[in-house]
Amino acid sequence: MTVRAKLCGIRSETDLRIALGAGADAVGFICGVTHFSEDALTEEQAVHLAALVPPFVNRVLVTHLEEATAIVDLAELLGVDTIQIHGLVTQDTVREVRKAAPGRRIVQAVHVTGDDAIEAARAVAADCDAVLLDSRTRNRLGGTGMTHDWSVSAAIVEVLAEVGCPVILAGGLGPGNVAEAIAVVGPFAVDVNSGVETPTGDKDAAACAAFVAAAHRTADPLEFPRPPQ
């Protein structure tokens, strides 16, 4: 099975056209932030862009919001397919979001800063449809342009395979290293933002196309059908 590719940080109609032209399986809209992101959208901008996404491309809300009602309300406003909880939230909050957002997939970010991420990922897996592994800094919860320890990510893939939870790999990926990252980690999907941007922060058509093509050329990642809820 082909590795899925998500292009995140879509902030304009041009970005969206580039992502769709590259063949992205999912596009991410960053809205509702508590930490810095150059690609953060207003609610109005996010609603507009999400409405332009054609069928069969997954629309993902990426948010730092930490209160369940606010997260669900924003997802409903945008009409997205998936909620990527990228903030520093409790598991009670994730469970509340999942209960209040039937029909939407829930992805929770785990920041890989050391071996403790393995247990963190194991703990959150039961309450979401996939775990996204990302890098972070003191001021940023994503979009760092930095890779993390892929051996830890690979260990998480093995651990979560036992409970049927897919893993999405993010953090410092780009056209030049995504194939290697997939080979080392074995994720269900890969996620990129700054690694396919121009110096002005816009999506680069050639880089986006190369990233998606490299991901799609990689066959036989671990596959985890989720049991009925």
For position 219, what pLDDT does the model report? 56
Instruction: Indicate whether 60 belongs to any domain.
Output: yes
Helix spans in the chain (H): 13-22, 43-50, 68-78, 91-100, 116-125, 150-161, 178-185, 205-217
Determine the pLDDT at residue 228. Answer: 40
**pLDDT at 222 (0 to 100):** 46
* Amino acid letter, 203: K
Does the residue 229 lie in any domain? no
Segment 105-141, tens digit of pLDDT = 999 999 998 888 999 999 999 999 999 998 764 555 5
Q: What is the pLDDT of residue 4?
A: 97
Of 216, 205, 224, residue with least CA distance to 18 = 205
Give residue for tokens 């194939």.
Answer: 179
Note down the domain range covering 38: 4-217
Domain count, the chain: 1
The pLDDT score that the predictor gives to residue 144 is 53
42 falls within a domain: yes
For residue 196, CA distances in Å to 74, 144, 190 come to 27, 13, 13
Residue 223 lies in a domain: no
pLDDT at 221: 45
The whole-number pLDDT of residue 110 equals 93
Instruction: Say which CATH number the domain at 109 has.
Output: 3.20.20.70
pLDDT in tens, 59-68: 999 999 999 9
Give backbone dihedrals phi and psi of 62, rounded to 5 degrees, phi first. -110, 115
> Is there a domain that residue 162 lies in?
yes
Residue 45 belongs to some domain of the structure? yes
- Residue 225 has a pLDDT of 46
User: Which residues of the chain carry a pLDDT beneath 50?
Assistant: 137, 221-229
Catalytic site positions: 8, 134
Predicted local distance difference test score (pLDDT) of residue 88:
81
Residue 225 lies inside a defined structural domain of this protein: no
Residue 226 included in any domain? no
